[in-house]
């Protein structure tokens, strides 16, 4: 046998051994990330226009940093009925939202600088990347589970009061 043949057979054997080893390697594991869960940071009440009747009272998570306001409720599987996320912006302006990476439908309530409901979007669809605008300048936005705005009877002009923990 020539030197070239021995080298060729040795190389072929090495390849077969290494390819076989790759086949037997355990499959790669997906990187697991912890589930994002609700963090109670305050409480919010909604009062009916012209009365002191409380229409709803919920625990809130507050989004007031750039990262929090851009991420919102993304990557979460849901919220309890008595929970919501309150976005607080530094400026009063036209604010727009979308449901990218949001896994459940929401009611989005836009609130002006005087803490009054200015507009809303019922049943914003999960994972929809269409823009949802405030329609008027606002400073706050409240996101709650879809259907609750109607169920609680929240309307334009109703006012909110919130406290931080």
Domain ranges of the chain: 42-164
pLDDT the model gives residue 136: 97
- List, in order, residues 6 or more apart from 97 with CB less than 8 Å away: 72, 108, 124, 131, 132, 141, 143
pTM for the whole structure: 0.80
Nearest by Cα to 156 from 118, 112, 128, 130: 118
pLDDT the model gives residue 65: 96
Tokens of 155: 């309307």
Superfamily of domain 42-164: Protein of unknown function DUF192 (2.60.120.1140)
pLDDT the model gives residue 27: 64
pLDDT the model gives residue 33: 66
Q: Is the CB of residue 135 less than 8 Å from the CB of residue 159?
A: no
pLDDT the model gives residue 36: 85
pLDDT the model gives residue 6: 47
pLDDT the model gives residue 19: 53
Give dist(CA 111, CA 99) in Å, integer.
19
- List, in order, residues 6 or more apart from 41 with CB less than 8 Å away: 60, 61, 62, 164, 165
Token pair 């990476």 is at which residue?
A: 101
Q: Is the CB of residue 28 less than 8 Å from the CB of residue 138?
A: no
pLDDT the model gives residue 20: 53
pLDDT the model gives residue 132: 97
Strand partners for 106: 124, 145
Given a cut of 50, the residues of the chain with pLDDT beneath it are 3-9, 11, 15
- List, in order, residues 6 or more apart from 91 with CB less than 8 Å away: 139
């Amino acid at each position: 046998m020539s030197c070239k043949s021995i080298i060729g057979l040795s190389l072929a054997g090495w390849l077969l051994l290494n390819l076989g080893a790759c086949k037997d390697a355990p499959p790669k594991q997906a990187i697991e990330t912890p589930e994002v869960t609700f963090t109670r940071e305050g409480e919010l009440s909604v009062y009916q226009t012209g009365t002191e009747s409380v229409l709803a009272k919920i625990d809130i998570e507050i989004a007031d940093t750039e990262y929090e306001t851009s991420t919102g409720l993304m990557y979460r599987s849901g919220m309890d009925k008595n929970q919501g996320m309150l976005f607080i912006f530094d400026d009063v302006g036209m604010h727009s939202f979308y449901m990218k990476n949001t896994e459940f439908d929401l009611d989005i309530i836009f609130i002006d600088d005087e803490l009054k409901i200015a507009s809303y979007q019922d049943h914003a669809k999960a994972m929809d990347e269409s823009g949802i605008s405030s329609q008027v300048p606002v400073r706050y936005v409240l996101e709650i589970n879809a259907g609750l705005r109607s169920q609680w009877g929240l309307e334009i002009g109703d006012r909110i009061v919130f406290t931080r923990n």
